[in-house]
Structure formats: structure tokens, C-alpha cells
Amino acid sequence: MNTDLLLRNLRNIPDFPIPGIQFKDVSTLFKNPECLREIADEMTERYRRAGITKVVGIESRGFVMGAILADRLGAGFIMCRKPGKLPAETRKHTYSKEYGTDTIEIHADALGPEDVVLIQDDLLATGGSAKAAIELVRSFGVRKIYCNFIIELRCEGLNGREFIGDSAEIDSLLTIE
């Protein structure tokens, strides 16, 4: 994998969404065809033999790579969304964040016990939304859960991997310390 290419094209936005946060904007990776192909090729290779039957993309940046991976892996794609965005019956999970609570939903008929699921999102920082997605997916009684991120932040106070623990097999393309 061409890590230098990806890091050179990753945009950092200071003080977004609140002062003190250094936001890692993956939209610059998505708009560059070479970066997008590099990410898709690397992730596809990592999961090619995992038996993935469904890819769950976490709203909204997880939709981009999630859909690409689902296509490449011959799997279905499931959207994990904020409340009120899915039109049919849903299952929900509410979780705590560093500045409040949030809820995510998946259609109630999206997954079953035969599924091997890859959860995809752009960034692992504190791990709150990822752990919530894992718990929501686990409620369907699936066979196995993998979780993949484009970027994993391992800076002071960010311990997402430890917070998630062994509830899913976790992988990330880029680690930023």
C-alpha cells in the first residue's frame, strides 16, 4: 500500500467541529482516483478470503468505501444511519459520546445469523460509534464481525481500539499517532 500517497492527500482541518479537534477529512482521498483505488484495492485484498456476506457502512463516510467493498467482495451493503432516515422497521442502539448521546439504526431485516459482517467507517478515534455499530450488528446474532477504518487515531486520550475491545476484529489502513 502506498501510505505516503494517502497521507499526502489527507486533509487536516483544525478546530472542526469544535475548537481543539484536528479533523481528518477523507473526502480528499475519495476525490483523488489514485487514492480511492489504492484504498479499495488494499481493503479488498484484506477481506477477500474472510467470507464477508454483508458490509455495513456507518453514516455517512462509511457509505463510500462500504459500498465499494460490498461490490468487490460480492456481498450485500447495509446502511447504518441516524434515526428517522431509514424507511422501514429498524433496530436502534443509543450510545454515549464525548459531548452527549447519539443513536444509530439498521433495518430490522438487514442481517441474520448466517451473515459474516464487515463494518466500515472512515475513522477510529474514541470508538463510540464503532462500538455502537458492533453492538447493533451483534443483536442480529451474526456469525462474525470485522471492523475496518481508513484511519485510526492513536493520540493522547483516543483509545478507540481498547474501548471496542475484542467485540470485533479491528483493522485500519493508516495509523496516526
Helical segments of 19-127, H only? 27-31, 33-47, 61-73
Q: Are strands 169-176 and 116-124 parallel, antiparallel or unpaired?
A: unpaired
Residue 98 annotated among the catalytic residues of the structure: yes
Identify the helix (H) or strand (E) that includes residue 134: helix 128-138
For residue 56, list its beta bridge partners. Answer: 78, 119
Is the separation of the CB atoms in 115 and 106 below 8 Å?
no
In this structure, the dihedral spanned by the alpha carbons of residues 28, 86, 161 and 101, taken in order and rounded to 10 degrees, is: 110
Give me the catalytic one of 8, 11, 45, 98: 98
61 catalytic? Reply is yes
Cell reading at 128: 463510540
* Per annotation, catalytic residue among 38, 61, 81, 152: 61
Rounded to whole angstroms, how far apart are CA atoms 147 and 36? 19
Q: Are 135 and 107 in contact (CB under 8 A)?
A: no
Q: Which residue has the cell 479533523?
A: 23
Which positions are catalytic? Answer: 61, 98
